[in-house]
Amino acid sequence: MRPPAILRPYSPDDAPACLAIWRRASEAGHPFLTSEDLDADAALVRDVYLPAAAITVAEFAGRPAGFVALLDRLIGGLFVDPDHHRRGIGAALVASLGDAALDVEVYARNNPARAFYAAQGFRETSCRLVDDRGRDEPLVCMTRAARA
């Protein structure tokens, strides 16, 4: 039996590992984005999103295996290294955010992410026709109500 992942606060030293996890998970979960799209997004993730968010890292065998980035009540990103998918790390990261109301936006074409968040108690509430970079990739907005 595999030991559970250890959840801990993000440190700036985690930035290279988290950026690598983001890239690998994005390539796996967003095959409709080009390598050029991801290259352009990487600078934003590194320079803007990681420093601005409250981040929890899931560590497995002494190395980061995933992370969740929270901006107020918005999950700005939840990424698990594909080598660690389907091991409960994503669910543990969502659970680490507590019982507060949460929002998340996922690409409409990312059906596994939509199903994952639905299983975590989120419901689809609206849709945006373009992503944050202005690409014609609709985003589904999902909300989880505060838990008592």
Domain that holds residue 108: 6-144
What is the pTM assigned to this prediction?
Answer: 0.92
The answer to whether residue 64 is domain-embedded is yes
Instruction: Provide the phi-psi class of 98: left if phi over 0, else alpha when psi is between -120 and 50, else beta.
Output: left
CATH assignment of the domain containing 106: 3.40.630.30
> How far, in Å, CA of 97 to CA of 75, rounded?
9
The answer to whether residue 1 is domain-embedded is no
User: Each residue's pLDDT tens digit in the chain (148 positions)?
Assistant: 566 789 999 999 999 999 999 999 999 989 998 899 999 899 889 988 899 999 999 998 889 999 999 999 999 999 999 999 888 999 999 999 999 999 999 999 999 999 999 999 999 999 888 877 778 889 999 999 998 7
